[in-house]
Structure 1
Amino acid sequence: MRRFLLFLLCALLGLLAVVLVNTLRLPNHQLAPVPAAPAVAVSPDSALAHLAGALRFATVSRTVYSETDTLPFGQLQAYLRRTFPLVHQQLKLQKVNRYGLLYEWTGTDPALKPLLLLAHQDVVPVLPGTDSQWTRPPFAGQQAGGYLYGRGALDDKLNVVGQLEAVEALLRANFRPRRTVLLAFGHDEETQGRRGAAALAAVLHPLHPQLELVLDEGGLVKADGVAGLTQPVALVGVSEKGYLSLELSATGAGGHSSMPPALTSVGRVAAAVARLEAQPFPARLDGGVSGLLAYLAPAVPFGKRLVFANQWLFGSLIKNSLAATPSGNAALRTTTAPTIFKGGDKDNVLPIVATATVNFRLLPGDSPQAVIQKVKELINDAEISVKTLGEGRAASPVSGTDNAAFLTLHRTIKSVFPQALVAPYVVVGATDARAYAALCPQATYRFMPVLMDQAAIESLHGTNERLRPAAYQQVVRFYAALIRNIQ
């Protein structure tokens, strides 16, 4: 017994030594302080007025394209031509599917691979009946209480106008890029981007089959930090989750509700959905969370740093902690979200057919085929039909954090947001960037240079979407700095 206890003590001491060594030897991925990005020769008031003007065009994209009012898109583009004359005089502009915009600022060294900046012109609709809840009308582009309000103030006209503002200022300063700079603005990102980003990428591919860096929206600078940190964290999306919607259906006998069978078609589908919700896909740190924690670990208190530095030992603890919130849970696993139920149209008649739509957002490493197979295993009911809706897609390629492109992006972020920690993560939503990933699989990133707290983040796609004027100045400064730095 004494020998066993001695062995156990030695094992524990050895384990403790390994944990401490891992913690003390943890690499610091954060850059040392870098010089501040130079100011951009743009009047803050005029720049904000340019953005406000763009918000006044209700460029709402609809799921059914024929239902989209395209007039505001033409009006917005005419406004951009008037507002940024040098851009439209000196850059090549190609229109794709009439409203997709591809600008090319030709560099002086054709041997260098281009930089591609992305944004989208379209916005989501305002929820019916919520207009009166807005502090300022959603398509008025008005200020109140230190904010600029409007649909698109965050998603995503600030990037369209911010990129053009930066290029216009650089042109005024007679700056000439060595590396070609491309701007691609789709017009249906909010509805899958088939006519916008997908078509633009197809046009771009034969012209520039390889790119140095692709940057789209997705991440942001979270003012109130993550993982318990109080300092800002610049979240850079290195991938985005895949997408799959399945329709589950069951067929019953129907009949009068006064004589129901033991299990109706509605009950069968409901039971299938309940089984899926009760057995979520496994939580995994290797789908993006591991890299995020590695970048943040040096900044957290020692106890938490010890946990982050030894994920092999404390993985379950990390997973349980993150899974307690919807956002943390979404970062850990392929998510299961029932979204639509259909069955019957009269309260006293049993429906013959009942269906449920379930949406899955796929973590890197999970394929649509594997998810479908797992769903069938979890449902375990031969009477349930499983049908794929639309085209399922896997997560986009995971871009690296050890290449020159990411280093340039990291350095540029720090030059504008010196207090922020930079960290990679996986975007849980969808962006236009996925359409261009084949042109730059190792360096396609998703980052919006805007400092936002949780309340502002929740206004995305919601009521009172808004932006602080000072935050917009940083947007313009960031894009000008990135164009200069990547040369």
Structure 2
Amino acid sequence: MKRLLLSMALAASVLVLVLVARTLSFTSRQVAPAAMEPLTVDADAAAARLAGALRLKTVAASEGVPAEDAAFAGLHAYLAEHFPRAHAALKREPVGPHSLLYTWPGTDASLSPMLLVGHLDVVPVAPGTEDAWAHPPFAGVVADGFVWGRGALDDKSSVLAQLEAVEALLALGEKPRRTVMFAFGGDEEVGGLKGAVAIAALLKERGVRLESVLDEGGVIMSGTVPGVSAPVALVGTSEKGFTSVELKVKGEGGHSSMPPPRSAVGVLARAVARVEDSPMPARLEGGSRELFLRVGPEMPFGMRLLFANLWLTEPLVVRQLTQKPTTNAAVRTTTAVTMFQGGVRDNVLPTSARAVVNFRILPGDSVDGVLQHVRSVVDDSRVELGTLAFQSEPSPVSRTDTQAFGHLERTLRQVFPEVVVSSYLNVAATDSRHYVGLSDNVFRFFPVHLRAEDLARVHGKDERIAVTAHAQAVRFYAQYLRNAAR
């Protein structure tokens, strides 16, 4: 027994030494680049140009409601008018009904081009809610240090900031060595099928292989990572997929006074309950895993020990992450019952019932895998299963040990020196997913510092961006082009 206890004590001591040693070697991975090159930005003038773009109601077509072609045409003309140097130096190609592809030729044809992505369309404002806004959603008002309006964050600010950066660099006589392309979709909010999909197909047809892609996605956030006091720049290195599984049950109908043991609605309800009670497995990998490897060294010792030793602590970390919806989404394919339909009257047995369950698919899982999981969990021949037409596979995970990510990381630390740069998993859909076949380096990041309460403004009321934040976005894109294309 003594020998056993001594062996256990020795093993425990060795384990402690290993844990501590790994923690002490778990040091910061943040780069310390040279200072950024100066760039003068007239913040008020840039804000005014953004405000003008917000006044054009470029809502994409959806569910039988056509887009306002005149608004998109007006925005195209507006961009040409307010960015004359860019439109003189760059080739502009209309693609599909409302999208634009710009090409800024580089001086070295041996270098693969890079692509910056944005979108011109915006989501609609719910009828009857306009009066609840501090300023009308399509008035493009600059007030109290902010530019207000639909698209101020998603995503006209990104488009305008990119063009502002190009205009500023051209004014300084700068030219890129690497060809730079800008893809501005006109229907990102409804799937990008006529915008980004068409642009990607055009580039593929031309044999273009992209060095990198940068689209909207993560932002700079403060207070979102426990134990990290510095703001964190969250760069999406992967994106979840999307599918909706439809469950249907047929019934005999009849009067409710003589019901069967279980009606169509009852069969469906049991099936849906089984799906909700059996979520897909959680795991920590890809961008979600690397998030903790990059921010972990910035944490106090106790939390550093936890993330420096994921080989041992990973089950505990994953279990904790699954306790909240926001973090659960980062470690598993999520299950959301979004529709349930059945019956027409309270005394009539339904002849059919239907439910729709939406899944946001973790990289490593697949659309087919989700359907197989649902079929296995439901395990009822009375329930017909299928998927809705709109779906997408999760994206590959872009590496962070590449030159392409290095350019992005260096730029962030130059323009926002106080931030901790980290990769993460983008849980929402962007146009970037349509370009993954053209590049191994696809990143999702919009250079703006937001507070947690600002996130509700995206697709919500009182969407706005600070005048100073928009100016910083211009500086970011200019420095990024200097680092990655020159």
TM-score range, shorter chain: over 0.9
Name the residue aligned to 2:421. 422
- Aligned to 1:211, the other structure's residue is in SS state coil
Contact 2:282 2:332 in 1 (8 A): yes
| 2:18 equivalent to 1:49 | no
| 2:14 equivalent to 1:14 | yes
Residues 228 and 274 (structure 1), Cα distance of their counterparts in 2 relative to 1, 3 Å cut: farther
Tell me the TM-score normalised to structure 2 length: 0.97
CA positional deviation for 1:65: 6.2
Deviations 1:184-230 (A, max 9, x none): 00000000100000001111223352111110001111133423422
CA positional deviation for 1:314: 1.3
| 2:183 equivalent to 1:184 | yes
Deviations 1:23-47 (A, max 9, x none): 1222532112x23333433311110
Name the residue aligned to 2:157. 158
Name the residue aligned to 1:289. 288
CA positional deviation for 1:10: 1.3
Return the alpha-carbon distance in structure 1 between the equivalents of residues 59 and 392 of structure 2.
25
Deviations 1:248-305 (A, max 9, x none): 0111111122332221111111111111111111110014321110000110010000
The amino acid of 2:293's aligned partner reads A
Percentage identity across aligned positions?
A: 48
Return the alpha-carbon distance in structure 1 between the equivalents of residues 129 and 331 of structure 2.
33
Return the alpha-carbon distance in structure 2 between the equivalents of residues 450 and 403 of structure 1.
24
Return the alpha-carbon distance in structure 2 between the equivalents of residues 63 and 36 of structure 1.
46
List runs of 5+ in structure 2 lacking aligned partners. Answer: none
The amino acid of 2:31's aligned partner reads L
Return the alpha-carbon distance in structure 2 between the equivalents of residues 12 and 122 of structure 1.
59
Return the alpha-carbon distance in structure 1 between the equivalents of residues 135 and 320 of structure 2.
39
Name the residue aligned to 1:455. 453
Pairwise mapping of residues 51-90 of structure 1 onto structure 2 (< 5 A)? 51-64=50-63, 67-90=66-89
Name the residue aligned to 1:24. 24
| 2:44 equivalent to 1:5 | no
Name the residue aligned to 1:122. 121
Deviations 1:451-472 (A, max 9, x none): 0010111211111111111111
Residues 228 and 133 (structure 1), Cα distance of their counterparts in 2 relative to 1, 3 Å cut: farther
Residues 206 and 372 (structure 1), Cα distance of their counterparts in 2 relative to 1, 3 Å cut: same
List runs of 5+ in structure 1 lacking aligned partners. Answer: none
CA positional deviation for 1:143: 2.8
| 2:473 equivalent to 1:475 | yes
Contact 2:286 2:397 in 1 (8 A): no
Name the residue aligned to 2:321. 322
Contact 2:367 2:392 in 1 (8 A): yes
The amino acid of 1:176's aligned partner reads K
Contact 1:37 1:477 in 2 (8 A): no
The amino acid of 1:108's aligned partner reads T
Contact 1:238 1:446 in 2 (8 A): yes
Residues 401 and 304 (structure 1), Cα distance of their counterparts in 2 relative to 1, 3 Å cut: same
| 2:419 equivalent to 1:435 | no
Return the alpha-carbon distance in structure 1 between the equivalents of residues 61 and 323 of structure 2.
34
Name the residue aligned to 1:444. 442
Mean CA deviation greater in 249-258 or 154-163: 249-258
Name the residue aligned to 2:266. 267
Name the residue aligned to 2:393. 394
Return the alpha-carbon distance in structure 2 between the equivalents of residues 396 and 117 of structure 1.
18
Moved over 6 A (4+): none
Residues 65 and 101 (structure 1), Cα distance of their counterparts in 2 relative to 1, 3 Å cut: farther
Pairwise mapping of residues 32-43 of structure 1 onto structure 2 (< 5 A)? 32=32, 34-43=33-42
Name the residue aligned to 1:97. 96
Return the alpha-carbon distance in structure 1 between the equivalents of residues 482 and 6 of structure 2.
62
Return the alpha-carbon distance in structure 2 between the equivalents of residues 121 and 351 of structure 1.
45
- Aligned to 2:307, the other structure's residue is in SS state helix
Name the residue aligned to 1:214. 213
The amino acid of 1:320's aligned partner reads R
Residues 3 and 447 (structure 1), Cα distance of their counterparts in 2 relative to 1, 3 Å cut: same
CA positional deviation for 1:313: 1.4
The amino acid of 1:14's aligned partner reads V
CA positional deviation for 1:391: 4.6
The amino acid of 1:16's aligned partner reads V
Return the alpha-carbon distance in structure 2 between the equivalents of residues 260 and 62 of structure 1.
44
